[in-house]
């Protein structure tokens, strides 16, 4: 009977050639793309901290207000450019000046990054006047006044004065105070309804990925507790929210109420195409004192940078979806610091990930060594297992299984030891699945033909869409799939075939797995694909080194034979398995006897 003895020296050479071809392919397209790209000279206008009030055209606004009556005022610092509209006295434009948005037309991140623009955000305070008429401040026309880094928006309604006072502060912060005078002559309400409609703008290359990361985020219980909601509705009617925000993949728009929002609820729905990803609507109440609305708020239009988020001390760092419990700890305490330390050496992001992979492999090397040694030992005893299966060809499948386990026991091979590396790597995989698409330091960092390691590379574009795959093929995902397939071929040679009818062939399933992995990686962050390409390539090299330079199969065979002669204590797991099999065998015999009696 011919055995699968893994990969021989010729196959080893073939693997090395394949790796060289893949790397050559990557360098070729890198140089080709660099030659095609032309440098664009861009001039950026610097806005003054104090900008005069100007007239502007407005669309999709209150039909009772003529466009020429709408005024805007602006404030700016090195981080934010903020514009205010006299219609509703609200923030009408927010640009993060230190970041760029992705342009699908040019396939580059060269657009100004606006969190708010073109009326995608609309908010106001709603109450009823004494006649029962609903009044919302977003429908009122305010008069703007600029003074240094502050803008005061003033509106009059039936003798009542409503003022919104905005002050631009450092760290992506906009102070927002609401002051009223004489409002008690207009309304008898003791609370105002804050209504915020927000359409999330598409800022990144991977639309589906960014859409999945766009959701409500909020804190309550005096900033101690945090929650999020990516479903269709959110309801927190019993909690007092300290802040409510809409997070995207790398940015968030958050409003904090110093006295909190009560009876909060909201809903959201995906937008399938166009410049918006999601529509979100929020509603919560703020307290009024003596029917006057005098409350302090704070707007934050910020990048999801972990040190920045922590510096606010408002539980904002929970907005960053790095994973729960131990997974989040791995990202915050291990992968992020490791990336930053290596990046400080001046390496590009792709090579930083390369070194991160090697470090992780070195840490896991004792476990990986045991796994590969176990694989080699199982290969040595494979002929004996085949011999037992041949002798017991017509025997009961349970007997064959017991005989196989007896060989493992005598040889001192613990099959369960091979599960440990897989169990260890599951949390690592999930941590990296969270790390690569959410680490803002990787945003816009290119490597070879991947222009952004937080998004997929689409060097190979398809003229049609394939379900679950899209209209492109990621080269990093393809390369990763190839090495996973090679690794699977090398490690599946010692896998025992199912002895019972109807049992799935695990070898076939293992070969299918890399193909399904391609569908997953094709639209994921290319940094993740690059990491697992390097990781699995290292796995293959480890197997080859162990096979040809470390482990001597003759010595292992001699050791196994020596183990057979020694009295071997039965482990707890093996004892349980044996007892279970014996019990199952007894039940099977009893059932056969009952069937024979009926005949």
pTM of the model: 0.74
**Confidence band (pLDDT; 50, 70, 90) for 581?**
low
C-alpha count within 13 angstroms, C-beta hemisphere, residue 564? 12
Helix or strand or coil: residue 351? helix
Rounded average pLDDT over 10-19: 47
**Confidence band (pLDDT; 50, 70, 90) for 450?**
confident
**Confidence band (pLDDT; 50, 70, 90) for 44?**
very low
Domains of the chain: 54-321 (2.70.98.90), 329-565 (no CATH)
Per-residue pLDDT, 274 = 85
pLDDT in tens, 159-181: 889 999 999 999 999 999 999 99
pLDDT at 201 over 80: yes
Rounded average pLDDT over 521-538: 85
pLDDT at 592 over 80: no
Rounded average pLDDT over 419-446: 81
Per-residue pLDDT, 263 = 93
Range name among 204-213, 249-258, 544-553 with the lowest pLDDT average: 544-553
Give the other-Cβ count within 10 Å of 318's Cβ. 18
Per-residue pLDDT, 147 = 92
Measure the CA–CA gap between 482 and 533, rounded to whole angstroms: 9
Per-residue pLDDT, 55 = 37
Per-residue pLDDT, 460 = 79
- pLDDT mean across residues, the chain: 77
Cβ-proximal residues to 245 (8 Å cutoff; 6+ apart), any chain = 216, 217, 218, 252, 253, 254, 255, 300, 319
**Confidence band (pLDDT; 50, 70, 90) for 114?**
very high
Please choose, from the candidates 293, 285, 294, the residue with its C-alpha nearest in 3D space to the C-alpha of residue 193.
285
pLDDT in tens, 317-355: 888 888 777 888 888 888 889 999 998 998 888 899 999
């Amino acid at each position: 009977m011919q055995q699968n003895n893994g990969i021989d020296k010729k196959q080893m050479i073939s693997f090395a050639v394949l790796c060289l071809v893949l790397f050559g392919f990557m360098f070729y397209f890198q140089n080709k793309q660099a030659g095609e790209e032309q440098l664009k000279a861009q001039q950026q206008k610097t806005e003054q901290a104090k900008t005069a009030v100007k007239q502007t055209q407005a669309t999709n606004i209150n039909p009772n207000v003529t466009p020429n009556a709408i005024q805007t005022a602006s404030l700016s610092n090195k981080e934010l450019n903020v514009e205010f509209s006299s219609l509703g006295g609200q923030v009408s434009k927010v640009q993060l000046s230190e970041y760029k948005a992705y342009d699908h037309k040019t396939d580059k991140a060269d657009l100004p990054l606006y969190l708010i623009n073109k009326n995608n955000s609309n908010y106001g305070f709603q109450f009823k006047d004494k006649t029962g008429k609903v009044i919302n401040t977003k429908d009122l026309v305010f008069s703007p006044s600029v003074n240094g880094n502050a803008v005061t928006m003033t509106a009059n309604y039936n003798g009542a004065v409503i003022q919104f006072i905005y002050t631009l502060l450092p760290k992506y912060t906009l102070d927002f105070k609401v002051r009223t005078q004489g409002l008690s002559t207009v309304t008898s309400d003791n609370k105002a309804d804050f209504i915020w409609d927000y359409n999330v703008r598409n800022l990144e290359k991977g639309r589906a990925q960014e859409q999945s990361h766009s959701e409500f985020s909020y804190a309550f219980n005096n900033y101690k507790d945090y929650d999020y909601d990516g479903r269709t509705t959110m309801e927190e009617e019993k909690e007092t929210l300290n802040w409510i925000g809409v997070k995207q993949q790398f940015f968030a728009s958050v409003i904090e109420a110093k006295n909190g929002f009560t009876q909060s609820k909201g809903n959201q729905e995906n937008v399938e195409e166009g410049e918006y990803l999601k529509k979100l609507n929020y509603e919560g109440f703020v307290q009024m004192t003596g029917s006057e609305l005098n409350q302090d708020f704070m707007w934050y239009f910020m990048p999801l940078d972990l040190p920045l988020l922590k510096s606010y001390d408002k539980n904002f760092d929970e907005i960053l979806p790095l994973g729960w419990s131990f997974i989040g700890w791995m990202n915050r305490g291990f992968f992020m610091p490791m990336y930053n330390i290596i990046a400080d050496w001046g390496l590009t992001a792709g090579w930083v990930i390369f070194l991160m992979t090697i470090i992780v492999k070195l840490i896991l090397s004792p476990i990986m060594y045991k796994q590969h040694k176990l694989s080699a030992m199982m290969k040595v005893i494979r002929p004996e297992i085949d011999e037992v299966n041949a002798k017991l060809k017509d025997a009961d499948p349970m007997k064959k299984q017991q005989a196989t386990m007896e060989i493992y026991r005598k040889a001192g091979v613990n099959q369960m030891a091979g599960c440990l590396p897989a169990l260890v790597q599951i949390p690592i995989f999930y941590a990296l699945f969270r790390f690569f698409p959410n680490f803002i330091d990787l945003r816009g960092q290119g490597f070879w033909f991947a222009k952004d390691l937080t998004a997929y590379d689409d060097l190979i574009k398809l003229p049609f869409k394939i379900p679950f795959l899209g209209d492109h093929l990621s080269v990093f995902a393809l390369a990763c799939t190839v090495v996973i397939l090679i690794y699977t071929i090398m490690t599946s040679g010692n896998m025992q075939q199912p002895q019972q009818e109807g049992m799935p062939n695990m070898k076939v399933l293992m070969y299918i797995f890399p193909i399904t992995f391609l569908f997953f990686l094709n639209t994921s962050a290319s940094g993740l694909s690059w990491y697992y390409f390097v990781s699995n390539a290292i796995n293959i090299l480890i197997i080859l080194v162990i096979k040809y330079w470390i482990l001597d199969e003759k010595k292992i065979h001699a050791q196994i034979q020596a183990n057979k002669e020694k009295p071997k204590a039965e482990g707890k797991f093996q004892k349980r398995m044996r007892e279970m099999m014996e019990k199952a065998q007894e039940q099977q015999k009893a059932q056969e006897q009952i069937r024979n009696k009926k005949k």
